[in-house]
Chains A and B, each alone.
Chain A
Amino acid sequence: MSFDLNFIGILIGAIMASSVPLILAASGELITERSGVLNLGVEGMMIIGAISGFALMVVTDNLFFAVVGSMLSGLIISLIFGLLTQSLLTNHVATGLALTIFGIGMSAMIGKNFVGIPGKEFPLLFVNLKESIPFLGPVFFGHSIILYFAFGLPFLTNYFLKKTKTGLIIRAVGDSPTSASNQGINVTLVRYSCILYGGAMCGLAGAYLSLIYTPQWIENMTGGRGWIALALVVFATWSPIKVLIGALIFGGITILQLHMQAVGLRIPVQLLSALPYIMTIIVLVVISRDSRKIKLNTPTSLGQIFYKEK
């Protein structure tokens, strides 16, 4: 019996690991969206983070540089989005799509020389505790530091948005940029900062994939996770804690699907692989059906261009 319990613990640990990139990217995007900016470039920023993290790991042989570098490169590529949408007042949806297309192309270009290179082992914490405590061990221990950070992030984000002055300013900018601007808040600056923060978090999410989750570089390795992260923000109705819950559900579907394939159920592999996407649609329908509930939480100015006459 204790073996079975331990197995469930390992399963839960695996679900947690697979939800990390979703939590990171969705938490970042949540802050961006709360300031009224809709950045559809999550997938592009993640894949840039994945390749730069991996490339830096190979070149510098230093995981710290790799992780920090991936965040910086996510930030730099989100700066393109910021320049366009905030300074040149371009459409958020189209610019985000361009960012994703550009990011996927650019990552493959950079990654050409890194295909097939094996990754490096990422240090995991409390490995001895993982093995000595049944069930709880594999759930809580033996993970990378990024996982612990990711699981704390939604709570930090929640506190930041609700209890701090900066959080209040971000929400004000997202809900009514004109009144915020009249109060003397620099709307453009706030939005730039939120875009850059979102970019850095997406970069980190990508690095988690290429350094820890599947430590190698594969073209297009984010495989739609960026889009699922975007869906998660809607699923969570812009609340950080619900992002965590949603990410665990999607992580759960991914792991469950892998296990069902391994057990050899007579269900087509492709149907199982399609489950996360189909589930996303179903969940979105259920959440969005009540338009009042969505409107209550959506940042009012989401995706709208703000221009202040000088």
Chain B
Amino acid sequence: MIKVEKRNNVSRSIYFLTPVLAIFLTLFGGGIIFFILGFNPIEALKFFFITPISDLYGLSELLVKATPLCLIAIGLSFCFKSNNWNIGAEGQLIFGGIVGGGVALIFYNHDGFYVLPIIILSGAIGGMLFAMIPAILKTYFNTNEILVSLMLVYVAKLLLDYLVVGPWSNPEGFNFPETRQFSEPARMPILFDGLRIHAGIFITLITVFLSWIILYKTYLGFQIKVSGLSLKTAKYAGFKGKTMIIIVFMISGACAGLAGVGEITGPIGQLHRNISPDYGFTAIIVAFLGRLNPIGIIFASLIVALTYLGAETAQIFLQVPKYTGQVFQGMILFFLLGSDYLLFFKIKFLGLKKNEL
């Protein structure tokens, strides 16, 4: 027999250990799924989690994928900390990509140091404006931000599709649904020859640092945390709720927009239909796995990026669909949320000394 007891206070160490537990449980669950599918589970997990990062190119790819994931998740942490459910980061990423890409096409024949910064900035503004739609509808019309931000993902995808098929398609592109390749000054500098890792990683790291300052060292960060813990307290303290909601959406939209523009000026180099393999949705998992903490999110983005690489390797070696990555991502979140139970409850085995609460 076991007995469950409520904890009086949440232990710090368990708070950061449960994500590790969740990852181990996911590996175990993944092994079982591979076994059911008829693979040797150890072998399959090796293909999934070790093979992809066993060389320098693989490690660079890991960082290429972690760069947008970390950036978006950092932005989302502002929303989630204050109980604002922005789940449309994918749409904000795409819209940022559209605006940044449009500017890149305008500056097609320009050759100056100013080109890339303007593109990056416009991408961030694009994402920010797109995220303000659910924020304004939430604050002034009381509309559910989950549904609005999600519906806008589909709108952004269709807008991108329209642009690359129609007005923005490459005039010399034989009607392929894609724009021209951006010119060299509009591309993120590559850090090492032969690898795809690009300067976007610095944008991510700077954003992580800035967000740490905002969250832990400013009045705004304090407001965000208090509103997340108790809306009543926040109201009593006289915080301007509406302004804060709009600001957190703007921050997370700008981060997603930056991620989008980083992708199109980095590894992709043009606009086409699929500029993001659902980074905006996966970043939600990254944010939770990282405990909405900037440092935690860095580690979490590396782990979740590995599920993307693993799915690609497994697709080649085991012929499983690339969506397998999503199965792992879903499982990580399930196990993480489930193991949070240990934060608030002690599980005691009877026979030990009983503690009355």
Contact = CB atoms under 8 A, between A and B. Distances in A.
Given A98-B285, A224-B154, A288-B142, A219 B323 contact: yes
B121 interface: no
A101 B146 contact: no
| Most interface-central of A94, A230, A284 (chain B CB within 10 A) | A94
Contacts of A277: 151-152, 154-155
Nearest to B281: A101
A102 interface: yes
Nearest to B148: A281
A285 interface: yes
Nearest to A98: B333
B158 interface: yes
A268 interface: yes
Contacts of B148: 281, 284
Interface in A64-115: 80, 83-84, 88-91, 93-95, 97-99, 101-109, 111-112
Contacts of A309: 6
Interface in B253-281: 281
Contact of A98 (B150, B159, B165, B337): B337
Nearest to A274: B158
A231 B323 contact: no
Contact of B330 (A88, A101, A112, A269): A101
Contacts of A104: 323, 326
Contacts of B281: 97, 101
A270 B162 CA distance: 6
Interface in B1-52: 6, 33, 37
B330 A98 contact: yes
A109 B324 contact: yes
A281 B151 contact: yes
Contacts of B165: 270
Contacts of A89: 341, 344
A135 interface: no
Interface in B300-328: 320-321, 323-328
A47 B357 CA distance: 45
State which size class the interface on A falls in. Answer: 35 or more
State which size class the interface on B falls in. Answer: 35 or more
Contacts, number: 136
A94 B281 CA distance: 12
Given A281-B152, A285-B137, A273 B158 contact: yes
B117 interface: no
| 7 closest residue pairs by CB, A with B | A102-B330, A105-B326, A108-B323, A98-B333, A105-B327, A270-B162, A90-B337
Interface of B: 6, 33, 37, 85, 87, 137, 141-144, 146-148, 150-152, 154-155, 158-159, 161-162, 165-166, 281-282, 284-285, 288, 320-321, 323-331, 333-334, 337-338, 340-341, 344
Interface of A: 40, 80, 83-84, 88-91, 93-95, 97-99, 101-109, 111-112, 219, 224, 227, 230-231, 234, 268-271, 273-274, 277-278, 280-281, 284-285, 288-289, 291, 294, 309
Given A227-B147, A271-B162, A309-B6, 19 more contacts: A84-B334, A84-B338, A101-B281, A101-B326, A102-B327, A108-B324, A108-B326, A111-B321, A112-B320, A219-B323, A227-B150, A274-B155, A277-B154, A277-B155, A281-B137, A281-B143, A284-B148, A288-B143, A288-B144
17 contacts: A84-B334, A88-B340, A88-B341, A94-B337, A98-B334, A99-B330, A105-B323, A105-B328, A107-B323, A109-B37, A111-B321, A112-B321, A270-B159, A270-B162, A274-B158, A274-B159, A281-B151
